[in-house]
């Protein structure tokens, strides 16, 4: 066992970066046994080295000069936990050219520029690992890339954003959106600007990464239609519960004969489905395929220590397998078309605010039937001449269902815009 420390560089020293440093120091002896030598953070790049930090970095650790890390021969691998697309992308390319492997938690960067980054890493004979970019402490990337390489995965679906799952769990218990968002920010689950989480953009980037790995085809974030929970009404969460469903922000990627279906949206999940019970900030990813049938991975999906744990796991993987069997390439060898949402069959939840008068339900049912959309269940709550009408449909092409809903919205007895949510089939 060597006594010479192996140097690690950090791009970023915020919540995750400082947690990586702290956990590596706390587990120094265990890490040394695994790697075969001591491991230490040599330098960490930050935008303002003089800014106050809760992480209490060692004297001289922080730098504002990227070249200090790129050109340091004592740094073997760099963990990128700074985020953003530029200049992070350019820096990663420069690190590869300098012969340094990179571990990243940057799902937006990978979902937009993954092909370029993987090609550059392979060209320079270094590693790009990214477990922390998807589900924090859940090792779904490693399972898909390595353990299931021959399993012909046909579907990946689940809860891949811990912040929104925490919020939806609280909303299901009667809390309002603004209150639970503030609590998520106080606990560190949500950023001061929560836009990426609550609009579904964060989950869409993760779905793009998982779909690319699972199906060996290039999927970018621009291919993933996404809706968030920022416009979700607590009324619909309550209706869903009464109907036997939980509302979850579900990301999914499926192989179908026509290509690949991808998307992120608030979705009604039957109480009998395993994903319905996943509460708080936990994530859960279900993998389906002919050989594996169904595998579910569950674990914490938000938090600095959880993400840092995945970063450290990748760091140890790089340091322990630099010249051995790691799969450096991203496995992209297919070109599968993305199936438009309008062509995808799904049950839908529809809530209408209507005048309580004869013939309303008959008129709605007629329009749905004309678009070949059948009704599974109906719930009506009437008061003072108005009614909230909730309809759950059987699976139908979404384009046809939405055409019918647009026609229904134009009827004289309808007030306001209809609310439409997807429903997760039981199989």
Active site residue 206: yes
In Å, how far are 22, 34, 205, 237, 427 from 134, measured between CA atoms?
Answer: 22, 25, 8, 26, 24
Among 100, 107, 142, 206, the one annotated catalytic: 206
Cis peptide preceding 87, ω within 30 of 0 = yes
HEC string of the chain equals CCCCCEEEEEECCCHHHHHHHHHHHHCHHHHHHHHCCCEEEEEEECCCCCCCCCCCCCCCCEECCHHHHHCCCCEEEEEECCCCCCCHHHHHHHHHHCCCEEEECCHHHHHHHHHHHHHHHHHCCCCEECCHHHHCCCCHHHHHHHHCCCCCEEEEEEECCHHHHHHHHHHHCCCCHHHHHHHHHHCCCCCCCCHHHHCCHHHHHHHHHHHHHHHCECCCHHHCCECCCCCCCHHHHHHHHHCCEEEEEEEEEEEECCEEEEEEEEEEEECCCHHHHCCCCEEEEEEEECCCEEEEEEEECCCHHHHHHHHHHHHHHHHHCCCCCCCCCCCCCECCCECCHHHCEECEEEEEEEECCCCHHHHHHHHHHHCCCCEEEEEEEEECCEEEEEEEECCEEHHHHHHHHHHHHCCCCEEEEEEEEEECCCC
Long-range (24+ apart) CB contacts under 8 A made by 173-177 are: 174/234, 176/234, 177/229, 177/230, 177/232, 177/234
Q: Among all residues, which ones are annotated catalytic?
A: 206
């Amino acid at each position: 066992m060597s006594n010479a420390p192996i140097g690690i560089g950090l791009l970023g020293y915020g919540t995750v970066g400082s947690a990586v440093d702290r956990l590596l120091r706390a587990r120094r002896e265990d890490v040394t046994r695994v790697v075969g030598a001591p491991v230490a953070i040599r330098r960490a790049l930050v935008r303002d080295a003089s800014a106050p930090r809760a992480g209490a970095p060692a004297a001289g650790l922080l730098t504002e000069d990227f070249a200090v890390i790129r050109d340091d021969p004592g740094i073997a691998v760099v963990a990128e936990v700074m985020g953003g697309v530029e200049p992070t992308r350019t820096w990663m390319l420069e690190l590869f050219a300098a012969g340094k492997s990179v571990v990243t938690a940057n799902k937006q960067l990978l979902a937009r520029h993954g092909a370029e980054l993987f090609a550059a890493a392979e060209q320079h004979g270094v590693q790009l690992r990214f477990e922390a970019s998807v589900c924090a402490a859940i090792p779904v990337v490693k399972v898909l890339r390595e353990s299931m390489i021959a399993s012909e995965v046909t579907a990946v679906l689940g809860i891949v954003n811990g912040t929104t799952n925490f919020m939806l769990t609280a909303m299901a218990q009667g809390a309002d959106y603004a209150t639970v968002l503030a609590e998520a920010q106080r606990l560190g689950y949500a950023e001061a600007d929560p836009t990426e989480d609550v609009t579904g953009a964060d989950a869409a980037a993760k779905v793009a990464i998982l779909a690319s790995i699972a199906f060996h085809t290039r999927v970018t974030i621009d291919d993933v239609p996404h809706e968030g929970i920022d416009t979700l009404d607590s009324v619909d969460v309550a209706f869903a519960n009464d109907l036997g469903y939980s509302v979850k922000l579900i990301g999914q990627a499926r192989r179908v004969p026509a290509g690949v279906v991808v998307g992120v949206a608030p979705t009604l999940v039957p109480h009998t489905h395993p994903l319905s019970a996943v509460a708080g900030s936990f994530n859960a990813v279900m993998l389906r395929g002919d050989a594996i049938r169904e595998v579910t991975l569950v674990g914490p999906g938000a938090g600095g220590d959880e993400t840092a744990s995945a970063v450290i796991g990748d760091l140890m993987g790089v340091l322990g397998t630099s010249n051995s069997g790691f799969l450096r390439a991203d496995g992209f060898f297919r070109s599968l078309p993305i199936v438009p949402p309008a062509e995808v069959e799904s049950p839908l939840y529809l809530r209408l605010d209507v005048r309580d008068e004869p013939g309303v339900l008959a008129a709605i049912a007629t329009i749905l039937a004309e678009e070949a959309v059948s009704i599974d269940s109906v719930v009506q709550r009437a008061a003072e001449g108005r009614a909230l009408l909730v309809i759950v449909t059987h699976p139908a092409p979404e384009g046809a269902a939405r055409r019918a809903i647009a026609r229904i919205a134009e009827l004289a007895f309808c007030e306001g815009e209809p609310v439409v949510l997807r429903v997760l089939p039981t199989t």
